[in-house]
Structure 1
Amino acid sequence: SDDEAFKATEAKINAFAAGHGTVLFYDDTDVTKQLQKNFPTYAANFPGFARDAAGMLQLAVWTALAEKGLGASLQHYNPLIDEAVAAEFGLPSSWVLQAQMPFGTVAQAAAPVDKQPVDSRVKVFGL
Protein backbone atom coordinates (compact mmCIF):
# COMPACT_ATOMS: atom_id res chain seq x y z
CA SER A 1 0.00 0.00 0.00
CA ASP A 2 1.00 3.64 -0.32
CA ASP A 3 1.10 4.00 3.48
CA GLU A 4 3.53 1.09 3.82
CA ALA A 5 5.68 2.38 0.96
CA PHE A 6 5.76 5.83 2.55
CA LYS A 7 6.80 4.38 5.94
CA ALA A 8 9.74 2.55 4.33
CA THR A 9 10.70 5.71 2.46
CA GLU A 10 10.32 7.83 5.59
CA ALA A 11 12.75 5.56 7.47
CA LYS A 12 15.39 5.97 4.77
CA ILE A 13 14.83 9.73 4.61
CA ASN A 14 15.25 9.90 8.40
CA ALA A 15 18.67 8.28 7.91
CA PHE A 16 19.65 11.30 5.84
CA ALA A 17 18.92 13.53 8.84
CA ALA A 18 22.55 13.15 9.96
CA GLY A 19 23.54 15.17 6.89
CA HIS A 20 23.78 18.93 6.56
CA GLY A 21 20.74 19.36 4.33
CA THR A 22 18.92 18.34 1.18
CA VAL A 23 18.63 20.15 -2.13
CA LEU A 24 15.24 19.68 -3.79
CA PHE A 25 15.05 19.95 -7.58
CA TYR A 26 11.77 21.00 -9.18
CA ASP A 27 10.33 21.66 -12.61
CA ASP A 28 8.01 24.66 -12.60
CA THR A 29 5.52 23.24 -15.08
CA ASP A 30 3.97 26.70 -15.58
CA VAL A 31 7.27 27.82 -17.12
CA THR A 32 7.52 24.69 -19.23
CA LYS A 33 3.93 25.12 -20.45
CA GLN A 34 4.55 28.78 -21.31
CA LEU A 35 7.59 27.81 -23.38
CA GLN A 36 5.44 25.23 -25.16
CA LYS A 37 2.96 27.99 -26.05
CA ASN A 38 5.70 30.39 -27.12
CA PHE A 39 7.44 27.82 -29.33
CA PRO A 40 4.72 25.46 -30.62
CA THR A 41 7.02 23.79 -33.16
CA TYR A 42 9.06 22.40 -30.26
CA ALA A 43 6.21 22.04 -27.74
CA ALA A 44 6.54 18.27 -27.42
CA ASN A 45 10.23 18.64 -26.56
CA PHE A 46 9.97 21.05 -23.63
CA PRO A 47 9.22 18.49 -20.89
CA GLY A 48 12.38 16.65 -21.99
CA PHE A 49 14.32 19.92 -22.12
CA ALA A 50 13.18 20.65 -18.54
CA ARG A 51 14.40 17.23 -17.41
CA ASP A 52 17.73 17.75 -19.23
CA ALA A 53 18.18 21.15 -17.57
CA ALA A 54 17.41 19.61 -14.16
CA GLY A 55 20.00 16.89 -14.75
CA MET A 56 22.64 19.45 -15.69
CA LEU A 57 21.80 21.48 -12.58
CA GLN A 58 21.99 18.37 -10.40
CA LEU A 59 25.46 17.57 -11.73
CA ALA A 60 26.62 21.17 -11.20
CA VAL A 61 25.32 21.23 -7.61
CA TRP A 62 26.83 17.82 -6.82
CA THR A 63 30.17 18.95 -8.26
CA ALA A 64 30.09 22.17 -6.22
CA LEU A 65 29.36 20.20 -3.04
CA ALA A 66 32.19 17.75 -3.82
CA GLU A 67 34.60 20.66 -4.39
CA LYS A 68 33.77 21.77 -0.83
CA GLY A 69 34.55 18.27 0.46
CA LEU A 70 30.93 17.28 0.99
CA GLY A 71 29.32 14.02 -0.04
CA ALA A 72 25.95 13.79 -1.76
CA SER A 73 23.62 11.31 -3.36
CA LEU A 74 20.78 11.71 -5.81
CA GLN A 75 17.47 10.30 -4.63
CA HIS A 76 14.04 9.94 -6.22
CA TYR A 77 11.35 9.51 -3.58
CA ASN A 78 8.69 11.21 -5.61
CA PRO A 79 5.77 10.85 -5.78
CA LEU A 80 5.69 9.36 -2.26
CA ILE A 81 6.90 12.57 -0.60
CA ASP A 82 5.50 15.18 -2.99
CA GLU A 83 2.42 16.25 -1.04
CA ALA A 84 4.15 16.34 2.35
CA VAL A 85 7.10 18.37 1.05
CA ALA A 86 4.88 20.80 -0.87
CA ALA A 87 2.73 21.33 2.23
CA GLU A 88 5.77 21.76 4.50
CA PHE A 89 7.27 24.50 2.34
CA GLY A 90 4.09 26.01 0.86
CA LEU A 91 5.09 25.24 -2.71
CA PRO A 92 2.86 25.99 -5.69
CA SER A 93 1.10 23.06 -7.35
CA SER A 94 2.90 23.87 -10.62
CA TRP A 95 6.21 22.78 -9.07
CA VAL A 96 6.86 19.10 -9.76
CA LEU A 97 9.57 17.45 -7.69
CA GLN A 98 12.27 15.86 -9.86
CA ALA A 99 14.91 14.70 -7.38
CA GLN A 100 16.37 15.15 -3.93
CA MET A 101 20.07 15.50 -3.07
CA PRO A 102 20.93 14.96 0.59
CA PHE A 103 24.44 16.16 1.39
CA GLY A 104 26.84 16.20 4.29
CA THR A 105 30.18 15.01 5.58
CA VAL A 106 31.61 12.02 3.76
CA ALA A 107 31.23 9.09 6.16
CA GLN A 108 33.02 6.65 3.85
CA ALA A 109 34.27 6.68 0.29
CA ALA A 110 31.88 5.38 -2.33
CA ALA A 111 32.44 1.76 -3.27
CA PRO A 112 33.46 1.07 -6.86
CA VAL A 113 30.60 0.18 -9.20
CA ASP A 114 30.95 -2.41 -11.94
CA LYS A 115 30.05 -0.83 -15.27
CA GLN A 116 30.11 -1.87 -18.86
CA PRO A 117 33.22 -0.74 -20.72
CA VAL A 118 32.85 2.85 -21.90
CA ASP A 119 33.26 1.78 -25.55
CA SER A 120 30.02 -0.20 -25.31
CA ARG A 121 28.13 2.80 -23.84
CA VAL A 122 29.57 5.77 -25.72
CA LYS A 123 29.98 6.09 -29.50
CA VAL A 124 31.90 8.94 -31.10
CA PHE A 125 31.29 9.64 -34.79
CA GLY A 126 33.03 11.93 -37.22
CA LEU A 127 36.49 11.97 -35.70
Structure 2
Amino acid sequence: MIIYGVALLAICTLAGVITGDMLGVLLGVKSNVGGVGIAMILLICARLYRGRHGGLSKDCEMGVGFWGALYIPVVVAMAAQQNVVTALHGGPVAVIAAIGSVLICGATIALISRTHKGEPLPPEVPVTAQPLGAR
Protein backbone atom coordinates (compact mmCIF):
# COMPACT_ATOMS: atom_id res chain seq x y z
CA MET A 1 0.00 0.00 0.00
CA ILE A 2 1.14 3.52 -0.77
CA ILE A 3 0.68 4.55 2.86
CA TYR A 4 3.68 2.37 3.78
CA GLY A 5 5.84 4.55 1.54
CA VAL A 6 4.61 7.60 3.43
CA ALA A 7 5.30 5.86 6.74
CA LEU A 8 8.84 5.03 5.63
CA LEU A 9 9.38 8.66 4.65
CA ALA A 10 8.03 9.85 8.00
CA ILE A 11 10.32 7.51 9.94
CA CYS A 12 13.34 8.62 7.93
CA THR A 13 12.40 12.29 8.39
CA LEU A 14 12.04 11.92 12.16
CA ALA A 15 15.33 10.03 12.43
CA GLY A 16 17.07 12.66 10.28
CA VAL A 17 15.70 15.60 12.28
CA ILE A 18 16.65 13.99 15.60
CA THR A 19 20.14 13.18 14.30
CA GLY A 20 20.53 16.71 12.90
CA ASP A 21 19.49 18.21 16.25
CA MET A 22 22.00 16.01 18.07
CA LEU A 23 24.73 17.06 15.65
CA GLY A 24 23.82 20.69 16.29
CA VAL A 25 24.15 20.18 20.04
CA LEU A 26 27.48 18.36 19.64
CA LEU A 27 28.84 21.14 17.41
CA GLY A 28 27.53 23.90 19.66
CA VAL A 29 25.18 25.29 17.03
CA LYS A 30 21.64 26.26 18.00
CA SER A 31 20.04 24.66 14.96
CA ASN A 32 19.54 21.43 13.08
CA VAL A 33 22.69 20.43 11.20
CA GLY A 34 21.93 18.43 8.07
CA GLY A 35 18.77 16.75 9.33
CA VAL A 36 16.93 16.88 6.02
CA GLY A 37 19.96 15.57 4.13
CA ILE A 38 20.39 12.76 6.63
CA ALA A 39 16.71 11.90 6.24
CA MET A 40 17.08 11.78 2.47
CA ILE A 41 20.09 9.46 2.73
CA LEU A 42 18.18 7.23 5.17
CA LEU A 43 15.23 7.08 2.77
CA ILE A 44 17.48 6.06 -0.11
CA CYS A 45 19.25 3.42 2.00
CA ALA A 46 15.98 2.03 3.39
CA ARG A 47 14.45 1.85 -0.08
CA LEU A 48 17.49 0.04 -1.50
CA TYR A 49 17.71 -2.34 1.45
CA ARG A 50 14.02 -3.22 1.43
CA GLY A 51 14.02 -3.55 -2.36
CA ARG A 52 16.93 -5.99 -2.37
CA HIS A 53 15.50 -8.13 0.39
CA GLY A 54 12.02 -8.39 -1.08
CA GLY A 55 10.28 -6.37 1.60
CA LEU A 56 9.04 -3.56 -0.63
CA SER A 57 5.76 -4.14 -2.42
CA LYS A 58 5.03 -2.40 -5.73
CA ASP A 59 2.57 0.00 -4.08
CA CYS A 60 5.01 0.83 -1.29
CA GLU A 61 7.75 1.43 -3.83
CA MET A 62 5.43 3.78 -5.73
CA GLY A 63 4.71 5.69 -2.52
CA VAL A 64 8.39 6.00 -1.65
CA GLY A 65 9.20 7.04 -5.22
CA PHE A 66 6.47 9.69 -5.22
CA TRP A 67 7.48 11.24 -1.92
CA GLY A 68 11.17 10.87 -2.74
CA ALA A 69 10.58 12.91 -5.89
CA LEU A 70 8.80 15.59 -3.86
CA TYR A 71 11.52 15.57 -1.22
CA ILE A 72 14.08 17.44 -3.33
CA PRO A 73 11.85 20.52 -3.85
CA VAL A 74 11.13 20.46 -0.11
CA VAL A 75 14.87 20.52 0.61
CA VAL A 76 15.33 23.42 -1.81
CA ALA A 77 12.46 25.33 -0.21
CA MET A 78 13.86 24.75 3.27
CA ALA A 79 17.31 25.91 2.17
CA ALA A 80 15.76 29.02 0.63
CA GLN A 81 14.28 29.92 4.02
CA GLN A 82 17.67 30.01 5.68
CA ASN A 83 18.72 33.42 6.89
CA VAL A 84 20.85 34.35 3.88
CA VAL A 85 20.75 38.10 4.59
CA THR A 86 22.21 37.64 8.06
CA ALA A 87 24.88 35.32 6.68
CA LEU A 88 25.90 37.92 4.11
CA HIS A 89 26.00 40.70 6.71
CA GLY A 90 27.97 38.48 9.08
CA GLY A 91 31.02 38.51 6.84
CA PRO A 92 32.43 37.39 3.55
CA VAL A 93 32.83 33.78 4.69
CA ALA A 94 29.40 32.76 3.39
CA VAL A 95 30.05 34.33 -0.01
CA ILE A 96 33.52 32.76 -0.24
CA ALA A 97 32.11 29.35 0.76
CA ALA A 98 29.32 29.58 -1.83
CA ILE A 99 31.63 30.65 -4.65
CA GLY A 100 34.22 28.07 -3.65
CA SER A 101 31.72 25.21 -3.58
CA VAL A 102 30.37 26.16 -7.02
CA LEU A 103 33.90 26.32 -8.46
CA ILE A 104 34.91 23.00 -6.90
CA CYS A 105 31.74 21.27 -8.17
CA GLY A 106 32.25 22.71 -11.66
CA ALA A 107 35.89 21.63 -11.72
CA THR A 108 34.98 18.14 -10.52
CA ILE A 109 32.31 17.74 -13.21
CA ALA A 110 34.73 18.97 -15.88
CA LEU A 111 37.43 16.57 -14.65
CA ILE A 112 35.06 13.60 -14.68
CA SER A 113 33.73 14.42 -18.15
CA ARG A 114 37.25 14.77 -19.59
CA THR A 115 38.70 11.66 -18.00
CA HIS A 116 35.77 9.32 -18.70
CA LYS A 117 36.64 7.51 -21.93
CA GLY A 118 34.25 4.58 -21.58
CA GLU A 119 31.40 3.55 -23.77
CA PRO A 120 27.86 4.80 -23.16
CA LEU A 121 25.70 2.77 -20.83
CA PRO A 122 23.64 -0.03 -22.35
CA PRO A 123 19.92 0.60 -22.77
CA GLU A 124 17.94 0.17 -19.58
CA VAL A 125 16.03 -3.07 -19.23
CA PRO A 126 12.55 -2.71 -17.71
CA VAL A 127 12.29 -4.05 -14.18
CA THR A 128 9.44 -6.36 -15.13
CA ALA A 129 11.64 -8.19 -17.67
CA GLN A 130 14.27 -9.14 -15.08
CA PRO A 131 14.06 -12.37 -13.10
CA LEU A 132 13.02 -11.92 -9.47
CA GLY A 133 16.46 -12.80 -8.05
CA ALA A 134 18.33 -10.40 -10.40
CA ARG A 135 17.57 -7.30 -8.37
Q: Same fold (TM over 0.5)?
A: no
Q: Which TM-score applies when normalising by structure 1?
A: 0.31
Q: Which TM-score applies when normalising by structure 2?
A: 0.30
Higher RCO (Cα < 8 Å, 6 or more apart): 1
Larger proportion of helix: 2
